[in-house]
Structure 1
């Protein structure tokens, strides 16, 4: 640049000169994909992940394999959001009455169940398609939106031990592994849950942290607070991570950066815990929920302080609770071994501690197993921690003096080039593990042509839903209820008669909460004995109807239906 050009440039007003670097920083992430020719590659992996998860969701839905808990609850609540009403779920209001505070007289909102206001973002989807499947497809897309963050994080990390081409290949393999990982498969099979938002936000938070964009990472952490009430502890763990951070991606923080990380880390640590406690003790009761309804830690103490006291003063008991029964260890094994336990070598694993602790110390069996959505909260954290752990292990081994001397020998020269080799070999190995594991998990049905055709039970269940008219109150089998939620006032068929004029049940296989066929048979006998007429019978699927004349003779059920309609007038 000539001196005159330089003087002309310096004479520009600051307001004109400043936006240029700001725009460059704002487009840095996009530049990573576009300038290096990876935009379409990353988009392809993202689309493949969304297609795989979405296809599995749709297949399970049309085969009547997605239960009403919790899909119908979210469907009714978010549909109310879409119509400008509070997120009341008739399903939740009827079947979880014990959760509601005694003096609460309003219809029970899901905001009194869990603090998940972020779900309101999905309400506009119901303006396009009024169907529970819209939530399933949205979850598939949200899971897939974590792929670009996983790719960018992995490539940036692998560049520390490999040239750009090898790092990019390794990043693609890691991203494909994430899209296929079994925690996402199990979350998909479980229907829709708040974890749909946690997965992309947690991945973006970690990637932005690695990119040293602290403001972006903090924004993601704050957004996590609106996913669920216990996310405050994850945010606190992220604050702890900032407190202990000395280097990021191998580069040390300067003194000013370290001070800023400490201050923000302390604020997130204290603020996350305070926010979680405030939601539990102030927000949840304000919307009619009981404070201790979800306290599953009675083995440690009656409340949070009691549990913490037990963990500190009696670690033996805490260890026994966390490791018994053996299924808890089995779940930990499946979470860590597919990445060869490298997640444990990274400080990013701190983010998984509160999520694992609230499950291992719990006395609720659903928290311990593989076949629930809870493992998906760890999906992005553990695979990104494993990539970081790989870099730390490989670079650490390269500094060991005996290994360096061994690598200098011609016979063991492979050790000298092991670092770029590991950037592709390890991701290829974990992708192989993910493919092999898939054969033991339900998502394999996506590539099975027979699973896309209806069997006799599925055909009968679909025909039964066609018999029931729109706009009526119906007590439905857990799997069938999801197909009626968009057009009827659906509540779950259980042992307690609710007085709805329409009832659909099946005795072909056990179904929650009638967990044995005999209970379902007895329920059908009760219906016939109390004035219900059998109007559909196919493949052990039955539809019963009670006309207006006989409703008034059956334990005051007409009044109970009217009460349900008044209390849940906004439930869609």
Structure 2
């Protein structure tokens, strides 16, 4: 029942945000183009990332192909959002059932809802769709099996993580390390070899083979460039108050820091490690989708500690055992206003502004299969039926017959508002004519038969990782 309730809330929240134009091309549009490519038998070719760009050369996530049958039935970005809602909700099942069997109904409710309403899940669902959604339930079932000493099941649940993202093979190895330490050495060693081997194969062979650049594109995120962080600066970062420390404390706060006492937290170390070692500040904080895979580990860790405290009272002081669940519930509720789920309690999510209705009407004038350059927020409204690129990034908009932009409320990415207005003006000077404009949503079309207009170059520099600008942010 907890998982069903979470799914209904997640589904409403994510679909409603999409209907209100709060999703974006980077990243929902990217993943929809990838799934659409699978569904149409073309492979995950993503024009939003560049001409003929293979998404498997960005991140190794063949698990996305599992959504293709659903996309055949309903070609819509909402399919991805509903699938994500279901996968994330299912992760509550093993955690709450473990708590129910060992600690009782109250613990099952607190841990299930605590996980489901946690800030890591809220941040992920509040920022489009990402491949790691497949990892969340797999990790939840795996760490629960570890806690119950079911070694084969723990490895079996973890093994498919290597098809979700290239770094998750190291998480499989962490599961193996736990099994090696606490249980069956052969299974543990097999999991370590399998996980590390899979990640090395993907990073050093498969990704470079499919990447336009011939190598994994995100090695630089682990280098210590100007202002960056690396192995030498990490110890100072962890003893100096800052964003990394805040993230770790917030991660453990809903468990009254008790999860840190559970050896299950070993499984969280690979994800925490690459994030804290990165020189990309977007990875250090609590925004976006990076913490979603950590939340089931944290709440499984809480159950683990409380189960051990019940069997061996000396593990925890009695007051800590009694206070853990009430404090967890209070902290979870207290953190809600600071993260994306707070939108559920605001009137803006429940009403449809006139500009949104106007946008739907304008977008309906774009014919199917047209090539369109669209504002980032408008991209995922078209990716199910058009060939779409983002207006201003990374390709030249002049390759598109149609342009649709939000002139009244520009997002500020990939172009600053003034720069975007200059580009729209350049398009008009180059022969694009206004077809419709309503509430600032402007649709332009190049006259049929006219050659592509010379457009100004896209802004220099890379996409601002973590700002909704890259599906490859980790």
TM-score by length of 1: 0.74
Q: Deviations over 1:293-324 (max 9, x none)?
A: 111111189xxxxx9xx84xx5xx33236678
Q: Please, which of 163, 183, 186 is the counterpart of residue 263 of structure 1? A: 186
Q: Please, which of 77, 84, 95 is the counterpart of residue 150 of structure 1? A: 95
Task: Give the superposition deviation at 1:530.
Answer: 0.7
Q: CA RMSD in A?
A: 2.5
Contact 2:409/2:440 (<8 A) preserved: no
2:26 is aligned with 1:69: yes
Summarize the alignment of residues 457-468 of structure 1 with structure 2, pairs less than 5 Å apart: 457-468=355-366
Q: Deviations over 1:64-111 (max 9, x none)?
A: 0011111111111111212222121121234xxxxxxxxxxxx33211
**Residues 533 and 202 (structure 1 numbering): CA distance in 2 closer, same or farther, change over 3 Å?**
same
Task: Give the superposition deviation at 1:150.
Answer: 0.8
Q: Give ranges in structure 1 of 5+ residues lacking alignment.
A: 1-43, 95-106, 159-166, 246-257, 302-306, 404-414, 558-572
SS in 2 for 1:536: strand
SS in 1 for 2:400: coil
Contact 1:55/1:446 (<8 A) preserved: no
2:8 is aligned with 1:55: no
- For 1:555, the equivalent position in structure 2 comes to 454
Q: Deviations over 1:149-197 (max 9, x none)?
A: 0112223443xxxxxxxx2221122111111111111111111111211
Moved more, 185-194 or 426-435: 426-435
- For 1:275, the equivalent position in structure 2 comes to 198
2:299 is aligned with 1:434: no
Q: Deviations over 1:312-357 (max 9, x none)?
A: xx5xx33236678922222222211121111110000001111011
**Distance in 2 between the 1:399 and 1:536 partners?**
68
**Distance in 1 between the 2:311 and 2:408 partners?**
58
2:370 is aligned with 1:472: yes
SS in 2 for 1:108: coil
Larger Rg: 1
2:89 is aligned with 1:191: no
**Residues 387 and 118 (structure 1 numbering): CA distance in 2 closer, same or farther, change over 3 Å?**
same
**Distance in 1 between the 2:40 and 2:417 partners?**
39
Contact 1:506/1:520 (<8 A) preserved: no
Q: Please, which of 293, 317, 325 is the counterpart of residue 217 of structure 2? A: 293
**Residues 93 and 543 (structure 1 numbering): CA distance in 2 closer, same or farther, change over 3 Å?**
same
**Distance in 2 between the 1:545 and 1:136 partners?**
31
Contact 1:142/1:200 (<8 A) preserved: yes
Q: Deviations over 1:245-276 (max 9, x none)?
A: 1xxxxxxxxxxxx4xx1122122223311211
SS in 2 for 1:228: coil
Q: Please, which of 115, 118, 123 is the counterpart of residue 60 of structure 2? A: 115
Q: Please, which of 220, 228, 244 is the counterpart of residue 157 of structure 2? A: 220
Contact 1:170/1:428 (<8 A) preserved: no
Q: Please, which of 31, 37, 51 is the counterpart of residue 80 of structure 1? A: 37
Summarize the alignment of residues 25-424 of structure 1 with structure 2, pairs less than 5 Å apart: 44-94=1-51, 107-158=52-103, 167-245=104-182, 258=183, 261-289=184-212, 290-295=214-219, 296-299=221-224, 311=231, 314=232, 317-320=233-236, 326-392=242-308, 398=314, 422=322
**Distance in 1 between the 2:204 and 2:452 partners?**
44
Contact 1:343/1:385 (<8 A) preserved: yes
2:411 is aligned with 1:539: no
Task: Give the superposition deviation at 1:399.
Answer: 6.7
Q: Deviations over 1:31-75 (max 9, x none)?
A: xxxxxxxxxxxxx21110001111110111011001111111111
Contact 2:398/2:452 (<8 A) preserved: no
Contact 1:236/1:269 (<8 A) preserved: yes
Contact 1:344/1:389 (<8 A) preserved: no
SS in 1 for 2:222: coil
SS in 2 for 1:533: strand
**Distance in 2 between the 1:463 and 1:370 partners?**
36
Contact 2:27/2:130 (<8 A) preserved: yes
Task: Give the superposition deviation at 1:534.
Answer: 1.5
Moved more, 197-206 or 487-496: 487-496
Contact 1:139/1:192 (<8 A) preserved: yes
**Residues 451 and 365 (structure 1 numbering): CA distance in 2 closer, same or farther, change over 3 Å?**
same
**Residues 73 and 448 (structure 1 numbering): CA distance in 2 closer, same or farther, change over 3 Å?**
same
**Residues 74 and 393 (structure 1 numbering): CA distance in 2 closer, same or farther, change over 3 Å?**
same
**Residues 539 and 73 (structure 1 numbering): CA distance in 2 closer, same or farther, change over 3 Å?**
same
**Distance in 2 between the 1:211 and 1:130 partners?**
41
Contact 1:54/1:136 (<8 A) preserved: yes
- For 2:472, the equivalent position in structure 1 comes to none
Contact 1:359/1:367 (<8 A) preserved: yes
Q: Give ranges in structure 2 of 5+ residues lacking alignment.
A: 457-474
**Distance in 2 between the 1:399 and 1:552 partners?**
75
**Distance in 1 between the 2:439 and 2:240 partners?**
42
Aligned residue pair count: 450
- For 2:464, the equivalent position in structure 1 comes to none
